[in-house]
Amino acid sequence: MDFLLDGLMQAARLLTGGDAETYSAIMITLQVSTLSMLCSLLIGIPLGFSLGHFEFPGKRPLRTLVDTLMALPTVFIGLLVYAFLTHRGPLGHFGLLFTLPGIAIGQTILALPIVIGLTATAIESLEEKTRVTLLSLGANRRQLFLSSLWEARHGVLSGAIAAYGRVMTEVGISMMVGGNIKWQTRTITTAIALETNKGQFGMGVALGLVLLAIAFGVNLSVSFLRRKT
């Protein structure tokens, strides 16, 4: 087990010494996950609200579909997005394969069912009397939407965190759609996979620690937000 200890020490050196390759993977991960989270929240929250708030024919099957898609395997998304973005694919002319926006598309698909499903659950769990309260105080459609989301904020936030956790830690999409190109599309997880294959445990451990630290930071700020509101 010495390699783990060595890895930890090497990790400390890489992180404190500002190793360019390590920091490149960290920055790329942050960029691409931020982009994909922004997209999935912007699309997913209104869809999740609609799914939770309105009654319409086919709502239950749709709900089951969304719940099923929460378990989509990342390599399968990677495969699909690759097939669409490759130069022979229907979206090939956009030249998005092996780019960060390409990875973000795949990660958005990964996060979307989680954001939609958990937002819908949070909105459904609001009691009918919350809706009556908001309407009786004069809320219009937009205000009803925003205030309901605010009332269900803890549930929506949990959905966002769950989605962020999956996006940050996935390997399949980044590897297949991003191509793991050093300085360009190499993320923390693809870097760990590569370095481990090469026997370079130090960088792998360093990057693993950074992933943990990011997860810790996100959860810490969320629990702070929860206490404040």
Partner 1 sequence: MQPDGSIYEIEALEHIYAGRSVLRIEQLAIEAGGIVGLVGPNGSGKSTLLKLLGLIEKPSRGSLRFRGKVLDPFAPRARHHVTLLPQEPSLMKRNVFRNVAYGLRLRGQTDQLEARVQEALSFVGLPAEHFARRPWYALSGGETLRAALAARLALKPRVLLLDEPTAGVDAASAHLIKDAALRAQREWGTTLIVASHDRPWLYEVCSDVLQLFKGRIFGTGEETVLFGPWERFTDGTWGKTLSDNQHLRIPEPPGPETPAVVENIILGETDRNPSPDQVHLQGVVSRLNLAQKTGRVFATVLVEKLSWTVPLTQEQVLHRSIYPGKTVTIQYRLDSMRWV
Rounded-to-10 torsion of CA 129, 133, 134, 137:
170
Report the residue from 34, 64, 143, 184 that binds partner 1 according to the rule CB under 8 A.
143
Instruction: Confirm or reject binding of residue 225 to partner 1 (CB under 8 A).
Output: no
CA gap 30, 24 in Å, rounded? 10
Interface with partner 1 (CB under 8 A), residue from 57, 140, 197, 228: 140
Considering beta carbons, is residue 7 or 52 the nearer one to partner 1?
52
Q: For residues 156 and 122, is the Cβ–Cβ distance under 8 A?
A: yes
Count of residues of this chain found to bind partner 1 when the rule CB under 8 A is applied = 19
- Shortest gap between Cβ of 153 and partner 1 (angstroms)? 8
Distance between CA atoms of residues 203 and 192, nearest Å? 7
List the structure tokens of 55. 């009654």
In terms of CB distance, is 1 or 137 closer to partner 1?
137
Query: Would you give the binding string for partner 1 spanning residues 95-134, x where CB under 8 A is met?
Result: --------------------------------x-xx-xxx
Residue 24 tokens, joined: 């490149």
Any contact of residue 223 with partner 1 (CB under 8 A)?
A: no
Q: Is 137 in the site for partner 1 (CB under 8 A)?
A: yes
Complex with partner 1: residue 53 or 153, whichever CB lies closer = 153
The two tokens of residue 49 are 């609200």
CA end-to-end span of the chain, whole Å? 45
* Nearest to partner 1 of 23, 150 (CB atom): 150
Please list, in sequence order, all residues whose beta carbon lies within 8 angstroms of the beta carbon of residue 86, skipping any fewer than 6 positions away.
92, 97
Q: What would the x/- binding string for partner 1 be over residues 147 to 166, using CB under 8 A?
A: x--xx-x-------------
Q: Does 93 bind partner 1 (CB under 8 A)?
A: no
**From the CB of 35, what's the least distance to partner 1, in Å?**
31
In three-state secondary structure terms, 176 is: helix
**Contact by Cβ (8 Å): 11, 23:** no
Cα–Cα distances in angstroms (integers) from residue 111 to residues 52, 88, 157, 225, in the given order: 18, 26, 13, 22
Residue 130 CB, nearest approach to partner 1 (Å): 6
Note the residues at the interface with partner 1 (CB under 8 A).
127, 129-130, 132-141, 143, 147, 150-151, 153, 229
